[in-house]
Amino acid sequence: MTPSPAKMIEKLVWDDTLYGRGVPGRVVAVALRYFYAVIRDLASGQLTMRAMSLVYTTLLSVVPLLAFSFAILKGFGVFKQLEPFLAELLAPLGEQGTQITAQILELVENVQGSVLGGIGLVFFVYTAISAVQKIEESFNYVWYVSKPRSFARRFSEYLIVLLVGPMVMVTAIGMITSIQSITVIQFLVNNERLGPIFVLIGKFVPYLLISGVFTFLYMFMPNTRVNLKSALVGGVAGGFMWATMGAIFTTFILYSTRTLQIYAGFAVAITTLFWLYLNWLILLIGAQLAFYHQRPAFLRIGRHEPRLSNSTRERLALNIMYLVGRSFRDADKTITIGQISEQLRIPTIALNPIVVNLEMAGLLISTDKEELLPGREMSRMRLQDILNVVRSQGETVSDRSPNWAEGIDRIGTQLETAVARVSGSRTLADLLDELATDD
């Protein structure tokens, strides 16, 4: 039987045949696998749906974000120097990009201190933080993180970004301006041979800045630890895709002028929405590539919700409580669900339901820093209590008792008795002592 085209493509991508063709073969094989994984994720619809959701969020929060950030830049007196950078960012929109750039600068120029005072300031900060929270949720989805930052962390860290971000922009603009004014640089730029090279390098500066911003977002936004190398891979890939998509979109705008004329005054809004959508989609694709680089085990299987057996969930509950208890006994150590995930090599999305149920049972406490602590004295925490949390998970109360088949209820009782006999009267403290002795 001849395999289907999809099976043939999958075999080509995941087979080791290309790896036997030397370095070029390995490069092609890796590129194909990442490309296949991204196309598969796009086809599932989740990334595109979240990109559209972020477009909606952007529309609601763009004015407060711009007013809040650029008001800080206005205080430094450098926001007008952002015009060429904004023009470069919105260049794919053509004439509409120029109009939007002028409108943004006019908006910032009209921002008065009274607008950001009192209730206005509270509203602007709330809207800005809500927008960043929405971005975090999308990144957490990519990284299999089901628990967001706590409110305290969210407020403090997001506010720091909103305050420090404009200052970093001021520093970057100042550095670029200073470099451009150096006599040696001016000489090299005006040189007939070296000038074109430096001009070309200058054209790449915006893309390098975009890649740097992407890399920072990939490291900071997910509520988990992201390696710098993986974030850089995603950032560079995202910057390259952004530059490529910008060129394609510019060509599309140039050759669809007549079509856009049909929409008259709505053309600016439509092209802006579409460009925002593409930007968010590229940002999420880069995040997905960073995730696959750090967690290559997911490259082939993609996003499948983990299905754990009852026995695995029981072992996980005991292991989670063991690691938390061991960390609690060491005054110099703390532990989070992310660290447990790395130690057990199980994604946090599989651990989180168990952790939540342990918290609801009073066996665990999660601090504002996402650190896990025992919920009560470990010498009073029976292993049977831990197992009961997992074994009874998902049980609903019925008005009538189930009509078990003859003998089934007896077997169930025997199983419960066997579990109770194995765990006995042992507590989490006893388990820690036993395993410490074994070590």
Kindly report, residue by residue over 374-386, the tens digit of the pLDDT: 999 999 899 988 9
Over residues 287-312, mean pLDDT = 83
Task: For the chain, give every domain's residue range.
Answer: 5-43, 46-301, 310-395+405-438
CA distance 67 to 107: 8
- Per-residue pLDDT band at 178 (split at 50, 70, 90): low
Q: Is the pLDDT of residue 104 over 70?
A: no
Q: Which of 98-112, 148-162, 265-279 has the highest mean pLDDT?
A: 265-279
- Per-residue pLDDT band at 229 (split at 50, 70, 90): very high
**Block residue for tokens 């049977």:** 384
Comparing 279 with 12, which gets the higher pLDDT?
279
Q: Is the pLDDT of residue 321 over 90?
A: yes
CA distance 388 to 382: 10
Residue (of 242, 207, 206, 235) closest to 221 by Cα position: 235
- Per-residue pLDDT band at 343 (split at 50, 70, 90): confident
Q: What is the pLDDT of residue 319?
A: 94
Q: What mean pLDDT is reported for the chain? A: 76
Q: Is the pLDDT of residue 416 over 90?
A: no
Residue (of 350, 280, 286) closest to 320 by Cα position: 350
Q: Which of 107-121, 328-342, 396-410 has the highest mean pLDDT?
A: 328-342
Q: What is the pLDDT of residue 439?
A: 57
CA distance 215 to 228: 8
Q: Give the pTM.
A: 0.70
Over residues 260-277, mean pLDDT = 70
Residue 424: which region, alpha, beta or left (left: phi > 0; alpha: psi -120 to 50)?
A: left
Q: Is the pLDDT of residue 246 over 90?
A: no
Over residues 209-238, mean pLDDT = 88
Task: Say if residue 427 is exposed, middle or buried (CB neighbours under 10 Å; 0-12, 13-18, 19+).
Answer: buried
Tokens of 23: 């370095």
CATH architecture of 310-395+405-438: Orthogonal Bundle (1.10)
Q: Is the pLDDT of residue 87 over 80?
A: no
Q: Is the pLDDT of residue 233 over 70?
A: yes
Q: Is the pLDDT of residue 205 over 90?
A: no
Over residues 395-409, mean pLDDT = 68
- Per-residue pLDDT band at 107 (split at 50, 70, 90): low
3-state helix vs strand vs coil in the chain, percent to 5 = 75, 0, 20
**What b-and-e string marks burial along 158-196, b requiring 16 or more CB atoms within 10 Å of the CB?**
beebbeebbeebbeebeeeeeeeeeeeeeeebeeeeeee
